[in-house]
Each structure stands twice: as structure tokens, then as C-alpha cells.
Chain A
Amino acid sequence: MSVDTATVRRIAGLARIAITDDEAARLAPELGNILDWIEQLGEVDTAGVEPMTAVIPNHLRLRDDVVTDGGVRDKVLANAPQAEHGFFTVPKVIE
């Protein structure tokens, strides 16, 4: 399956990764090759086969609905590129 640069741009947009025209041109055949190769999965007859959801049978646990952590605001913010007044800060989103 061929991938064109418009598709690469659309996917990169969905993935929130800025790419240049040169990168899009380089990535198009690269991604096309990889997708061509994974296309071969289409030849496997999977009629009536359930998709895998868990590799090892395991039960989902429940716990009591109580607070088990918290009160660590400064630790949560410690690695933020920018934090002010106890919050993460980002560029203005509402004019």
C-alpha cells in the first residue's frame, strides 16, 4: 500500500508531531514499506477467532473505595517544565 505525503502529514497531525516537508517525503516510502510488510496478516483466516485481550488468564481485582495516596502536589509538579501557584502552566488557550 502506498503512503503519500498528505497521509503522513495527517497521521503526524493526529500524533501531535511536527514534521517538515523533507521529513514527510522521507517518511512516506518508509512507512509504506512497513505497512506493505504487515499487510501479509490479511492472508490469515481469522474467521471465528476472538481477538486476544489477555495473554495470561488473570482476574481483575477490586479494592475498597478509599483514598490510598495523594497530598503530594509538590512531587507531582517537581518535574514540570513550568509550574506556577501549584499548577502546571501552558500557553494561553482561551483568548
Chain B
Amino acid sequence: MTALTDLGIAAIRNGVRDGDFSAREVAEAFNAAVAAARPLNAFLVETPDHALAAADAADQARAAGETLRPMAGVPIGMKDLFCTKGVPTTAASHILEGFTPEYESTVSQNLWNAGAGMLGKLNLDQFAMGSSNETSYFGDVISPWRRNDGGNAPLAPGGSSGGSSSAVAARIAPGATGTDTGGSIRQPAAFVGISGIKPTYGRCSRWGTIAFASSLDQAGPMARDVRDCAIMLEAMAGFDAKDATSLDLPVPNWEGQLNASLAGKRVGIPKEYRVDGMPAEIEALWQQGIAWLKDAGAEIVDVSLPHTRYALPAYYIIAPAEASSNLARYDGVRYGLRDLPDGANLQEMYARTRAEGFGDEVKRRILIGTYVLSAGFYDAYYTQAQKVRTLIARDFERAWEVCDVLLTPTAPSAAFALGEKSADPLAMYLNDVFTVPSSLAGLPAMSVPGGVDASGLPLGLQVIGKPLDEQGVLNAALAIEERAGFTARPAKWW
């Protein structure tokens, strides 16, 4: 029999429903796997009792003959950016160390309402700022993958949802929540060979999710395959009056309408997504992806998104600007850390607390954001970036006149080694070159594994869709998944 930890979300849900195994057995198996995988540093807090309680509820519901909830008996990992009542929530920062929310985020509550249980809180880049999970105050997350060159260089799991990606790839969680501001679901999913979808901005409530850049932040699922992502996204999404940007729309039955036939669909290939220095293997995988989608019945069309090259610089104005505003709340007064030297006044307390509590990358972004919003610079930087953002969104709108989805690589490289890029902030920012444009336009976008490179490391393909067309994105991703037959998995070393 297959180990229970080898099962994904759909298989666990169905197995519990059909009585093949109990939800408690599943929770116990994953709890044990989590405890045995501490060398990955994926979890900041383990919550085995939460997972067991949800499992017991599922088993009791089944015994009572009730209809099981959509994720009954499925234990998941929760990115530590979501506030969880009674469970410490830090955003992997020192400044929130010891913070224990008195409330539950809407997304996590939606998952518990759907019957899911929590294995624990997952490590991330501090305040979700990073692309390698090297900015966490609580140490790097290590990818379960290793290159096939016999070296044991620890690899980055991607970021910022690096704990989520590492945990799902290592099969210590069948699914995990992620958040995506500029690629933080899709790039880590690509780095570890799993699937992840960022829905349309506004599908998932931001209430109770620690804010980074509010006009960009969106939650989404990370799981082993497309169907599992569809199931989990259905549970996470939905209108929430507590978030002013929440979309007041019904949640579609994405899983029920999965369809890998793309007959009559047009797939756009944006020529601007070829960047200097991109490995030939990524170009080759992209071509393979095009062939797969043709095979699924799609028509391929060339499109142009002329402002693509300006997306990253615009993002690195808008996101830090919003971050500098959002992170002003960490002042040593209401929650978290306070650094108050003897005789210090209130202003000194603020400055010392923030100096002590924020990591280097967070400070860098707050300072950039403060600079671009400061008097005399606001129009030249921030207003100009928001105008460029309009142009980027317009590029996509024009593309939708001739195609239904876009296909691109997810990231310009496979996973790099920890430490390889951390000395150069700009080199790190360039990781998000393919994921940021769709974030700026608020579009649904998904990464799905396509293959491995010569080092045996996973590579992902990205599908970008029209606003609210998660179904089109999931279906194209499913067509890729069925043809890629991606079965590679990391050998267990932890």
C-alpha cells in the first residue's frame, strides 16, 4: 500500500470518504513526517493537535453518516503570514516574535470550515520579502531537492513561500497555503516541482493576512497537482466583507469543471519573455509546453506585451512603497518587540525597536519605499510607476483580444544554491521577471511542473489567464500536467 504521506489532497479526501483509511491515520502520518523533517526548517510551529482534532471531526462525521466537508480529513501547512488564533504568527520576523493573534484570518478560517486541519505554521521570507527564503529571522528553509552532481549544496526552495514549497515537495504536507505579491507562490512551486496558483486579485480575502503590498498580495494554494490546487482554492476563496477589495462573486466549482481539452482555445506566447542569459533548457521546456498545448487542441498565437521589461522596476517602486506604509504599524506599542533603552524617549523607542526587529531586506525595502514616496520624488517615482502599471495591464488586455491564456516559463532559472544570490539584492529581484507582470495586472496565474534540467532540478511553466478565469488557467495547466508526466521527486536525505 502507498504510504499515506504520498497521497495528495484529492486522494486523501476520497480515501477518507470511502473509508479506505481514517482521517486520524492520515493526520498521524503527516504529523510524524513533519516531526522527522526538521532539518528542512520548513515549519516554524508544529500544531499536531490541530491536525488531529480536524481529523477526528472528519472521522466522527463519517461515522454519523454525514456528508463530509470538501477538505474533511486533509491536513495542510499554513504559511506563517496568516494569523491563526492562539497560534504564534511572526511573518518570520523578529519584530513579531511572541505575537499570538486573538483572531483567525479569513483564508485560514475558510479552510477550517472546509474541514482541513493544520500541521503547523510554515517558514517564509521575512514579511514575504524575498525569492529564496533566506531572509527569515528563523533561518533558511532548505529545499528537499539536491543536484544530481553528487554535491550536497543546500538549495533554495524559492520564496517567499519557501516553507510551503519545501513541505509539499518533501511530502510532509499534501498542500499548503502560499501568498503571492510578485511571484511568491509560483516561483517556489517551480523550484521544487509542485503546482501553485495565484488567483485573480480579490478572490481570496486579505483579512488577517499580514500585509506586504496590499494592491498586490493574494493568497493561493500550493499542492502536488492541478486538481489539488483547484480543491484547495475553492476552500480558500470567497467574498469577505472585512476586505474592501474582496470580490463579491460566487466561488466557481473549479474542480468539477476541470477539462484538459483545449479545443477552440488560443494560447498566446509573449515574445518579450525571452531574457538574456536564460538557460537553453528553459527555452526548450517552453517549446515543449507549446507542443503539449497544441496536442491538447489549442491554437498557438504569438503576442507582444511591449511593457514587460518595465514591470520589475515598477514593481520595485510600488511594492516597497506599499510596504513602507503597511509596516509603519510595527512600532513597539501594540504588539511584538519593544526595544526601550534606559532613558529613551518615544521616538527613540520606535527607531530602536524597528532597527532591532526588521531584517536587512525588510529595512532595504522600507527605505526604498520611504524614499520614492518622500516629498519631491513622489510623482517621478510612484505616480510614474502606477502609470506604467496601467500600461502593463493594457498590454494584457490587448493580448486577450487574440488569446485565452498565455504560456511562459515561471522563472528564469532552476533553483539556485543558498547563498548564491543573497549578496546582490538586484540579482535576487530578477528572479521574479516572469511572475511580476501578471501580479501588477491582478491576473490569475499558475506554475505547473514541466520537467527537470540537466542537474535533475525541476522547472516550471506558467499559465496566465484573463481576470476571473481561474478555470482557463487550471485547464491549460492540467493539459500540461497530463502530458509532462512529471514524477520526479527528491530523494529523502533529512
A binding-site residues for B, Cβ under 8 Å: 7-8, 11-19, 27, 30-31, 33-35, 37-42, 44, 46, 49-56, 58, 60-61, 63, 72, 75-76, 78-82, 88, 90-93
Contacts and interface: CB of A to CB of B under 8 A. Distances in A.
B426 A33 contact: yes
Contacts of A13: 351
A78 B85 CA distance: 12
A26 to B, nearest CB: 9
Q: Is the interface of B mostly helix, strand, loop or mixed?
A: helix
Interface string B343-384: 011111111101100100001101110111010000011011
A46 B347 contact: no
Given A46-B384, A61-B241, A61-B244, A52 B364 contact: no
A91 B349 contact: yes
Contacts of B364: 27, 30-31, 34
Given A11-B367, A15-B367, A51-B386, 5 more contacts: A33-B426, A52-B389, A76-B102, A79-B101, A79-B102
Contacts of B366: 15, 17
Contacts of A46: 384, 387-388, 391
A12 B367 contact: yes
Given A88-B333, A90-B346, A14 B370 contact: yes
Interface residues of B, number: 72
Interface of B: 98-103, 200-202, 215, 241, 244-245, 247-248, 307, 310, 313-314, 316-317, 324, 328, 331-338, 340, 344-352, 354-355, 358, 363-364, 366-368, 370-372, 374, 380-381, 383-391, 393, 425-426, 440-442, 467-468
A91 B351 CA distance: 13
A17 to B, nearest CB: 5
B345 to A, nearest CB: 6
B318 to A, nearest CB: 9
Nearest to B355: A18
A56 B368 contact: no
Nearest to A8: B367
A89 to B, nearest CB: 9
Contacts, number: 159
Contacts of A19: 355
Chain A contact residues: over half helix, strand or loop, or mixed?
Answer: loop
Contacts of A7: 371
A11 B370 CA distance: 6
Given A16-B350, A18-B351, A79-B100, A50 B442 contact: no
A4 B437 CA distance: 32
B215 to A, nearest CB: 7
Contact of A11 (B371, B384, B441, B467): B371
B310 A40 contact: yes
B102 A72 contact: yes
A34 B425 CA distance: 8
Contacts of B324: 15
Given A17-B367, A30-B425, A82 B248 contact: no
A7 B376 CA distance: 13
A55 B393 CA distance: 8
A75 B99 CA distance: 12
Nearest to B245: A58
Contacts of A33: 425-426
A61 B370 contact: no
Given A91-B340, A91-B349, A52 B367 contact: no
Contacts of A55: 201, 215, 393, 440-442
Given A46-B387, A52-B390, A55-B441, A79 B316 contact: no
Interface centre among A46, A55, A76 (most CB of B within 10 A): A55
